[in-house]
A = this chain, B = another copy of it.
Amino acid sequence: MLRWSLESRDAQTRPLQDAVSNVEKHFGELCQIFAGYVRKTARLRDKADLLVTEVHAYAATETPNLRHGLKNFAEEFAKLQDYRQAEVERLEAKVVEPLKTYGTIVKMKRAETELQRATMDATRTSRHLEETIDNFEKQKIKDIKNIFSEFITIEMLFHGKALEVYTAAYQNIQKIDEEEDLEVFRSSLYPPDYSTRLDIVRANSKSPLQRSISAKCVTGTGQQIPTARIRKDQQDDEEDDEDDELEVTEEEN
C-alpha cells in the first residue's frame, strides 16, 4: 500500500518535473542565442560608428558639395546607430532578461515539487500539483507569447526608423552637385590662393600608415571568407573567435 502510494506520487509529480525540465532546457538555449544576437547587433553598431567617424574625416578633405552631402549622410547614419543602441538595450531588457529570470522561476518550481513530494500525502499532493502544473503551463505560454512579441516589436521599431533615416540619407547623397564641385576643384588648382588650398589637401594625405591600410583592402582576400554563409553545425562562438583571429592575423601582415 505504501509502495503503491509512492509510485502513484512519483507518477503525479513527473509531469511537472518534465514540463519544468523542458522549459529549463529550451528557455536556457533561447536565452543564450538571443543574448548572442544582441551582442552581434552591438558589434554591428560599433562598426557603423566607425563608419560615421571615417565619413566625417573624408568629407572634411572634399569639395563643398561632396563634403556637405557626406557630412549629412554621416549625421543621418549616426542617428540610426542611436536607434540601434536603443534596440540593443530594449532587447536586453525585454527579451534576454525575462528569459534569464525563468532560470530562477524554474529553480523555485523544482523546490516546490520536492517539498510537496516530501511532506504531503498522495491526495493533497495530487490536488495541489494539478494547480501548480496548470499555473506553470499557463504562465509559460503567456510569457513565451510576450517575449517573442516584444522581440518582434523592438525589431520592427528599429527597421521602421532605418527606412525613415535612410530615405533622408539617400536625398543627401543624390543632391550632391557634381558639376559645381568640379568647378570649385578646377579653380582651386590654379588660383591666387593655390598653395593654401594645396596645403589643406596635403595635410590630409600624408600618413604612410594609412596608405598601408588601403593597400590591404586591395589585396585582402581574407574579406570574403567570413561573409560566406557557414554551415549550421559550425555555428558557435568558438567559430566566431577563430574567424576574428584570422582577420586580425591577416590585417597584421
Residues of A participating in the B interface, judged by any CB pair closer than 8 Å: 14-15, 18-19, 21-22, 24-51, 53-55, 57-58, 61, 63, 66, 69-70, 73, 85, 88-89, 92, 96, 99-100, 103-104, 106, 130, 133-134, 137-138, 141-142, 144-145, 148-149, 152-153, 155-156, 159-160, 162-163, 166-167, 169-170, 173-174, 176, 178, 181-182, 185-186, 189, 198, 201-202, 204-207, 210-211, 213-218, 220, 223-224, 226-230, 232, 235, 237-238, 240-241, 244-245, 247-248, 251
- Given A214-B25, A248-B241, check contact A55 B30 (CB 8 Å): yes
Q: Are B28 and A217 neighbours in the complex by a CB distance under 8 Å?
A: yes
- Cβ A27 vs Cβ B214 within 8 A: yes
- CB <8 Å contact, A22 and B85: no
Q: Determine if B237 and A28 form an interchain contact, defined as CB atoms under 8 angstroms apart.
A: no
| Cβ–Cβ < 8 Å partners of A237 in chain B | 244, 247-248, 251
Say whether, besides A35-B220, A44-B44, A14 and B51 are in contact (CB < 8 Å).
Answer: no
Copies of this chain, how many? 2
Interfacial chain B residues near A148, Cβ < 8 Å: 70, 73, 173
Question: In the complex, which residue of chain B has the Cβ closest to the Cβ of A80?
Answer: B155
CB distance from A201 to the nearest CB of B (A): 5
Which of A18, A104, A198, A227 has the largest count of B CB atoms less than 10 A from its CB? A227
A173 x B145 contact (CB < 8 A): yes
A166 touching B156, Cβ below 8 Å: yes
Let me know if B41 and A44 touch, CB within 8 A: yes
| Pairs A–B under 8 Å by Cβ, sample size 9 | A21-B205, A22-B201, A26-B61, A29-B58, A32-B216, A35-B223, A38-B227, A53-B232, A152-B166
Residues of B close to A218: CB separation below 8 A: 28, 31, 100, 103-104
A182 and B251 contact, Cβ closer than 8 Å, known pairs A33-B47, A38-B227:
no
A59 to chain B, nearest CB (A): 9
A55-B34 Cα distance, complex, nearest whole Å: 11
B88/A205 in contact, CB under 8 A: no
Closest B residue to A184 by CB, please name it: B137
In the complex the two chains form, is A32's CB within 8 Å of B217's CB? Answer: yes
From the candidates B14, B45, B162, B213, name the one contacting A29 in the complex (CB within 8 A). Answer: B213
Is B103 touching A215 in the complex (CB atoms < 8 A)? yes
Q: Which residue, A43, A57, A96, A99, has most C-beta atoms of chain B within 10 A?
A: A43
Q: Report the Cα distance A169→B226, complex, angstroms.
A: 29
